[in-house]
């Protein structure tokens, strides 16, 4: 069966095709069953790119570079996330993985990593093929190049915020926004990725519900999550955006990596963070004000997505205030979809 995904054929074979090492051959010998199955469907696994956030057991979640083969020709490379459900923690398989797959099937936005296909087989493996971000993630970019310039970060932060706005419109929250989950494409655009902790926050009656799951990465987790009480995950996503912006501009975390949650919480609540003096002198007052309003422990004062997009800092580049056709179309479709979903859900009175 030939599968058409709309890729362009490259003019020549990529360099990495000529440099496959023996570990790939070893991988294929050990896992011939699922490798053969994928190749029958036109997919070929290549180098291992990394491990997923749930890879608490070796081999549970692995991310590969892959390629789609059609008519014996190599198409554009992609990324492949392979989950071994037999080795994965039961909590992940039962609670998080089904939500992630459901969300990946629903979302499509120019600033969210695109999912091409999801393949499940033998009740053991789940394989998600998605867009390859050629320049890696934002954290690696910062570690290699230093702090991101304010002008560049304005463009990237707008893209990230638009992706979050789209998700929140669909009543979906990410709950693990961090630099490692912001990927950079060959054209230097950023894409939000990794929806392992994402979930819908609508109940069976169409009402929004709070979260009570402690999830995410400690350095990016909002104080209300650390507190251990039910929280509004949309507001908590805003904290994650604030940490991303701070790290990108400052090339350092806002809060030291405390091993104790209590100390981290106390630092967050007391505004115990500051830009490095050398960096602070070069930053505009508008971006410093925006970071302060995002790393705000008072939930009633923390900014929302629309306030970010309408902020004075974003407005410093007038082009950032205008939605592209694809951005506008994605948001309108999300608004239409959520309206239909809420209309179909029974109200409390209907159930009674």
Tokens of 2: 């030939």
**181-to-31, 156, 244 alpha-carbon distances in Å:** 28, 13, 10
| Helix 233-250 / helix 285-294 crossing angle, nearest 10 deg | 140
**197-to-85, 206, 214, 265 alpha-carbon distances in Å:** 17, 21, 10, 21
Query: What is the reported pLDDT for 73?
Result: 58
**29-to-33, 65, 266 alpha-carbon distances in Å:** 9, 18, 51
350: CB partners within 8 A, 6+ apart: none
pLDDT in tens, the chain (352 residues): 333 333 333 444 444 444 444 444 444 444 445 777 888 888 888 888 865 544 333 456 778 888 887 655 557 789 999 898 988 888 888 989 999 999 999 999 999 999 999 998 878 889 999 999 999 999 999 999 999 999 999 999 999 999 999 999 999 999 999 999 999 999 999 999 999 999 999 998 888 999 998 988 899 999 999 999 999 999 999 999 999 999 999 999 999 767 788 999 999 999 999 999 999 999 999 999 999 999 999 999 999 999 999 999 999 999 999 999 999 999 999 999 999 988 887 765 554 3
Q: Using an 8 Å Cβ cutoff, are 345 and 205 in contact?
A: yes
Whole-model pTM above 0.75? yes
CA distance 147 to 142: 6
Find tokens 């053991």 and name the residue: 124
Query: What is the reported pLDDT for 33?
Result: 59
Query: What is the reported pLDDT for 346?
Result: 72
Residue extent(s) of CATH 1.10.510.10 domains in the chain: 138-336
Q: Which CATH architecture has domain 138-336?
A: Orthogonal Bundle (1.10)
317: CB partners within 8 A, 6+ apart: 151, 154, 155
Active-site position among 47, 58, 140, 176: 176
Q: How many CB atoms lie within 10 A of CB 28?
A: 15
Q: What's 15-130's CATH class?
A: alpha beta
| Helix 32-40 / helix 22-30 crossing angle, nearest 10 deg | 100
176 belongs to the catalytic site: yes
Query: What is the reported pLDDT for 22?
Result: 46
> What is the tens place of the pLDDT at every residue in 139-166?
999 999 999 999 999 999 999 999 999 9
The C-alpha angle with vertex 79 and arms to 68 and 69, in degrees rounded to 5, equals 5
Question: Nearest CA to 85 among 122, 119, 113, 128?
Answer: 122
Tokens of 140: 């690696």
Residue extent(s) of CATH 3.30.200.20 domains in the chain: 15-130
- SS3 for 197-237, per residue? CCEECECCCCCECCECCCCCCHHHCCHHHHCCCCECHHHHH
């Amino acid at each position: 069966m030939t599968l058409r995904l709309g890729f362009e054929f490259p003019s020549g074979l990529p360099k990495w095709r000529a440099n496959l090492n023996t570990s790939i051959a070893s991988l294929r010998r050990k896992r011939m069953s699922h490798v053969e199955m994928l190749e029958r469907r036109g997919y070929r696994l290549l180098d291992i790119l990394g491990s997923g956030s749930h890879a608490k057991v070796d081999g549970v979640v692995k991310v590969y570079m892959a390629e789609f083969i059609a008519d014996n020709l190599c198409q554009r490379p992609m990324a492949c996330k392979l989950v071994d459900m037999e080795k994965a923690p039961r909590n992940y398989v039962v609670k998080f993985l089904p939500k992630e797959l459901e969300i990946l099937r629903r979302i499509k936005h120019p600033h969210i990593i695109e999912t091409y296909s999801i393949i499940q087989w033998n009740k053991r493996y789940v394989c998600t093929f998605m867009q390859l971000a050629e320049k890696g993630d934002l954290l690696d970019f910062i570690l290699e190049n230093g702090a991101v310039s304010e002008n560049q970060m304005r463009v990237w932060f707008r893209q990230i915020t638009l992706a979050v706005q789209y998700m929140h419109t669909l009543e979906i929250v990410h709950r693990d926004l961090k630099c490692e989950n912001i990927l950079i494409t060959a054209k230097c655009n950023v894409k939000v990725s990794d929806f392992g902790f994402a979930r819908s926050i609508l109940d069976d009656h169409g009402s929004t519900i709070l979260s009570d799951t402690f999830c995410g990465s400690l350095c990016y987790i909002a104080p209300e999550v650390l507190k251990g009480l039910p929280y509004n995950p949309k507001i908590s996503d805003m904290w994650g955006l604030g940490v991303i912006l701070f790290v990108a501009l400052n090339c350092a975390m806002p809060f030291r990596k405390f091993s104790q949650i209590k100390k981290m919480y106390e630092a967050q609540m007391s505004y115990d963070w500051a830009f490095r003096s050398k960096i602070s002198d070069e930053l505009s007052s508008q971006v410093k004000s925006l970071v302060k309003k995002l790393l705000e422990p008072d939930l009633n004062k923390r900014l929302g997505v629309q306030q970010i997009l309408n902020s004075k800092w974003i407005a410093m580049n007038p082009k950032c205030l205008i939605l592209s056709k694809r951005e506008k179309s994605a948001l309108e479709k999300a608004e239409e979809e959520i309206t239909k979903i809420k209309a179909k859900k029974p109200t409390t009175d209907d159930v009674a």
